[in-house]
Amino acid sequence: MPIAHVNGVDLYYEDTGQGFPLVWSHEFGGDHRSWEPQVRYFSRRYRVITYNHRGYPPSSVPKEPEAYTQPQLVEDLHQLLRHLGIRQAHVGGCSMGANVALNFGVAHPETAKSLVVVGCGSGTVNREPFVKGQLARADELEREGIEALVRNFETLPTRRAFRHKDPRGWKEFVDGVREHDPVACAHLIRGVIVKRKTIFELEAELRSLRVPTLVMTGDQDEPCLEPSLFMRLHLPHAGLVVVPMTGHTVNIEEPGLFNAVTGEFLTAVENGRWGTWTA
């Protein structure tokens, strides 16, 4: 089992294919398996790295709440790439992982050849009810176990499109959620999701980030629509894709479309032809 001992934790990772590195960071409800459609597609011409964040077995599951912060997740990724001998990579993520990827680009722009930011920005708008709801969810996880999170996902409007249009894919997703550690998930909610900077609060960092960026969101993912447009407006070299009748997890809801659009983006970047950005 490939394990990297970095930043005080063990991170499980998978390293597939050969070529320029392409790294994917997973969402709160997923793990490295969330990127399987991308691993199968992009590993034909890239070295694709997926990994489990701290808190997701078989990566370490620290017991201390203070072990779960946004800077630690960003540094985990940074040290993982160093462990693998990767000096530069395309870096992408979904939701919590998209926030990690974006902040990784801010902290280490020389390491990010490009950024793919998917379903990013939950909690940026309607901040107060978001925080209240997330903290209630953390309490439920500790009190009732992982089924509390499954019930929540089954009722979320941002997950509805996936559940209805792809029942088989939805079942696979939910089965994966049931394998997560509920206490670690509660720590992630309290330490990462409600404490990280919102997209609006990152405006200065976005304006100074010169890395070519693809921002993608589903049109049914209402909490991420305004933040995605904000990133498009303030990131100097960002393009925005809004996928119709799609929710929070574009890469597993519409993998064919996601892979095609992302592939075109990566090719444009590698040839110095991504819109206003030139190599």
Q: Per the domain annotation, does 188 fall within a domain?
A: no
The model's pTM: 0.97
| Residue-level pLDDT at 157 | 95
Span 95-124, pLDDT tens digits:
999 999 999 999 999 999 999 999 999 999
> Nearest to residue 13, comparing CAs of 71, 72, 56?
56
Q: Per the domain annotation, does 23 fall within a domain?
A: yes
Residue with structure tokens 């903290």?
A: 135
Q: Per the domain annotation, does 13 fall within a domain?
A: yes
For 2, phi then psi, to 5°, come to -75, 120
Residue 278's pLDDT band, with cuts at 50, 70 and 90, is confident
| Residue-level pLDDT at 219 | 98
DSSP 42: H
- Does residue 276 surpass a pLDDT of 90? no
Planar angle of CA 13, 19, 20, nearest 5 degrees: 80
DSSP 97: H
Tokens of 200: 């609006």
Tokens of 53: 């964040």
Residue with structure tokens 């997209």?
A: 199
What CATH number is given to the structural domain containing 110?
3.40.50.1820
**By percentage, how much of the chain surpasses pLDDT 90?**
98
Span 176-231, pLDDT tens digits:
999 999 999 999 999 999 999 999 999 999 999 999 999 999 999 999 999 999 99
Q: Per the domain annotation, does 119 fall within a domain?
A: yes
Q: What is the C-alpha to C-alpha distance for residues 34 and 26, in angstroms, rounded to an integer? A: 7
Q: How buried is 64 (Cβ within 10 angstroms: 0-12 exposed, 13-18 middle, 19+ buried)?
A: exposed
Helices 157-165 + 222-234 axis angle, to 10: 110
Q: Give the number of domains in the chain.
A: 1
Residues listed for the chain: 279
Q: List the domain range (segments joined by +) for residue 53.
A: 3-125+197-270
- Does residue 11 surpass a pLDDT of 90? yes
According to DSSP, the residues that pair with 41 across neighbouring strands are none
> Nearest to residue 95, comparing CAs of 251, 232, 237?
251
| Phi-psi category of residue 58: left, alpha or beta, with phi > 0 → left and psi -120 to 50 → alpha | alpha
Tokens of 156: 């979320």
Q: What is the C-alpha to C-alpha distance for residues 82 and 220, in angstroms, rounded to an integer? A: 37
Q: Per the domain annotation, does 32 fall within a domain?
A: yes
What mean pLDDT value characterizes the chain? 97
- CA distances (Å), origin 184, targets 57, 68, 87, 176, 215: 10, 8, 30, 15, 28
Q: Per the domain annotation, does 258 fall within a domain?
A: yes
Q: Per the domain annotation, does 147 fall within a domain?
A: no
Span 129-159, pLDDT tens digits:
999 999 999 999 999 999 999 999 999 999 9
**CB contact at 8 A, 76 and 11:** yes
Q: What is the C-alpha to C-alpha distance for residues 70 and 91, in angstroms, rounded to an integer? A: 16
| Residue-level pLDDT at 277 | 84
Q: Per the domain annotation, does 152 fall within a domain?
A: no
